[in-house]
Amino acid sequence: MKMKMKMKMKKNDQNGGNTILSVSPLKAITLHLICLLGLALAFWIPSHIYSLDLITHPSQTLRMISFLRCFWLQY
What is the pTM for the complete model shown? 0.54
- Tens of pLDDT, residues 5-55: 444 445 555 665 566 778 899 999 998 998 888 888 888 888 888 888 888
Q: In terms of Cα–Cα distance, which of 43, 39, 31, 36 is closest to 7?
A: 31
* Domain ranges, residue 43: 24-74
Residue 15 in any domain: the answer is no
Structural domain total, the chain = 1
Residue 53 in any domain: the answer is yes
Residue 19 in any domain: the answer is no
Neighbouring residues of 69: CB distance < 8 A, sequence distance ≥ 6: 38, 39, 42
In whole angstroms, what is the distance from residue 28 CA to residue 37 CA?
14
In whole angstroms, what is the distance from residue 42 CA to residue 62 CA?
9
Residue 50 in any domain: the answer is yes
